Structure 1
Amino acid sequence: MRIVDSADWRDRLTYETPYRVADVMPGDPARCAACPADAGAHDRDHLWAVKHRHPTNHGGFVRFYCEAHVPERKQPAVVAARTAPARRAAPRAAAPRAPKAPAPSDVVRAMCPDCFVEVSAAGECGICGIRI
């Protein structure tokens, strides 16, 4: 069995970008997420779908907005360049490092040539009894 992501129309949308709902998902008239609850449904040609980020769902969520409430597209923040000249640190002499002791799992231990199991500290195989 092969497990794949589901194919959903919302996966094709990019975050914080308005799309015409009629172009993305045709259907019946829908309500604006920002309009009051008693407001009527709008035709899909006059609604915008915007995919927002969600803190716990990596797929985000999509809301429909009317022409009056469609959020502006957020531009990515521009990182300001440094105005002060960058100082170069003087090269430091590399401190000599002591060799690192091997981890207990990295130590090579004696193996039985017939059974291919680790031999006890006494040097005897626990399966076939041969002395190494």
Structure 2
Amino acid sequence: MRIVDSADWRDRLTYETPYRVAEVMPGDAARCASCPADAAPYDRDHLWAVKHRHPTNHGGFVRFYCEAHVPERKLPAVPVVRAAPARRSTPRSAASRTPQTPAASDVVRAMCPDCFVEVSATGECGICGNRV
């Protein structure tokens, strides 16, 4: 089974950029995310949609804001380019270039081609019983 993200109107929005809600998602009147809960809904022509980053969801989340609460567009910071440090003129010794042993998590283990699970040391899949 292959799990993929679904196509959604929110995928077309860029992060931290205000869009008119009527242009990206037509529909009924909606409420501003920053206004009190008992505030009347606004027409979609008077709301802004802003896509924010989320710490655990790579797709982010979208909130609607009225004219009074729409956040300013945040432009990405320009990276500072620094000069490269001077290189050493003496070569490293051969002892410092020895390869390191791979971590236990980097070792490739045998996998069942049908179940996609790691097989035991005996080479038999614990789910379907195939020998690998």
Q: TM-score range by the shorter chain?
A: 0.5 to 0.7
- How does 1:19-30 map onto structure 2 within 5 Å? 19-30=19-30
| 1:88 alignment counterpart | 86
| Number of corresponding residues | 102
Distance 1:69 1:87, change over 3 A: same
Return the alpha-carbon distance in structure 2 between the equivalents of residues 8 and 18 of structure 1: 17
Give the drift of 1:79.
2.5
Give the drift of 1:45.
0.5
SS in 1 for 2:94: coil
| 2:4 alignment counterpart | 4
Runs of 5+ unmatched residues, structure 2? 108-132
Give the drift of 1:100.
6.0
Describe the superposition over 1:55-86 as per-residue Cα deviations: whole angstroms up to 9, x where unpaired. Answer: 1111111000011110000011123344xx76
Give the drift of 1:89.
3.3
| 2:18 alignment counterpart | 18
Return the alpha-carbon distance in structure 2 between the equivalents of residues 69 and 93 of structure 1: 60
Distance 1:96 1:19, change over 3 A: same
Distance 1:101 1:10, change over 3 A: closer
Distance 1:43 1:96, change over 3 A: same
TM-score by length of 2: 0.66
| 1:39 alignment counterpart | 39
Identity %: 72
Distance 1:55 1:101, change over 3 A: closer
- How does 1:1-132 map onto structure 2 within 5 Å? 3-82=3-82, 87-97=85-95
What is the root-mean-square deviation in Å for CA atoms of aligned residues? 2.8
Distance 1:87 1:34, change over 3 A: same
TM-score by length of 1: 0.66
Letter in 1 for 2:66: C
SS in 2 for 1:50: strand
Which of structures 1 and 2 has the bigger CA Rg? 1
